[in-house]
């Protein structure tokens, strides 16, 4: 299985966790997962590229259109997320789901995107609720280890072996 969304769906189905079984609620979770895969991930990625990396390799006037376009799109997407979170505790509804798992890593970078979360109070509430989840907190802590030294938690992991099919 490859691609983040497909992996999350597979794991949710395999474990019977983080995705409702009732068809209407399941559809809502999948809609918000697709919103992340087709909107949040690609657009936030482009916005980051044109604001953080492209200025180092090209003249500012050559990327102004792209910066404006993606800055506006990111603001629109934060607005859509905020509006949804005014209707429900989590993106997929009342329960934490794979839609939240997929969206949180992108959405939590609001400072890098020069986004004032005061403009998005429902998003701010969700962001704090997400950061308070024990598994999410462990992942944030793991990622916050300084990059100039080996990540001791990862260094202890056994190396992965390629499956027989991949060899």
pLDDT at 143: 87
| Alpha carbons 53 and 56: distance in angstroms, whole number | 6
Q: What angle do CA 27, 136, 18 make, to 5 degrees?
A: 25
Q: What is the pTM of this model?
A: 0.84
User: What pLDDT tens digit does each residue of the chain (167 aa) get?
Assistant: 999 999 999 999 999 999 999 999 999 999 999 999 999 999 999 999 999 999 999 998 999 999 999 999 999 999 999 999 999 999 999 999 999 999 999 999 898 888 999 999 999 999 999 999 999 999 999 988 765 555 454 444 455 555 555 54
Closest CA to 136 of 166, 91, 96: 96
Torsion angle defined by CA atoms of residues 33, 123, 17 and 4, in that order, rounded to the nearest 10 degrees: 40
């Amino acid at each position: 299985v490859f691609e983040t969304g497909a992996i999350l769906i597979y794991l949710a189905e395999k474990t019977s966790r983080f995705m409702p079984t009732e068809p209407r609620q399941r559809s809502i979770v999948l809609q918000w997962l697709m919103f992340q895969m087709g909107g949040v991930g690609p657009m936030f990625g482009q916005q980051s590229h044109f604001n953080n990396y492209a200025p180092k390799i090209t003249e500012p006037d050559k990327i102004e259109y792209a910066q404006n376009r993606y800055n506006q799109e990111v603001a629109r997407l934060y607005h859509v997320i905020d509006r949804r979170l005014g209707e429900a505790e989590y993106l997929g509804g009342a329960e934490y789901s794979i839609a939240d798992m997929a969206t949180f890593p992108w959405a939590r970078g609001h400072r890098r995107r020069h986004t004032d979360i005061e403009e998005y109070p429902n998003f701010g509430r969700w962001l704090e609720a997400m950061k308070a989840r024990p598994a999410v907190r462990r992942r944030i802590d793991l990622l916050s280890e300084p990059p100039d030294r080996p990540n001791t938690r990862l260094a202890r992991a056994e190396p992965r072996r390629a499956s027989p099919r991949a060899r």
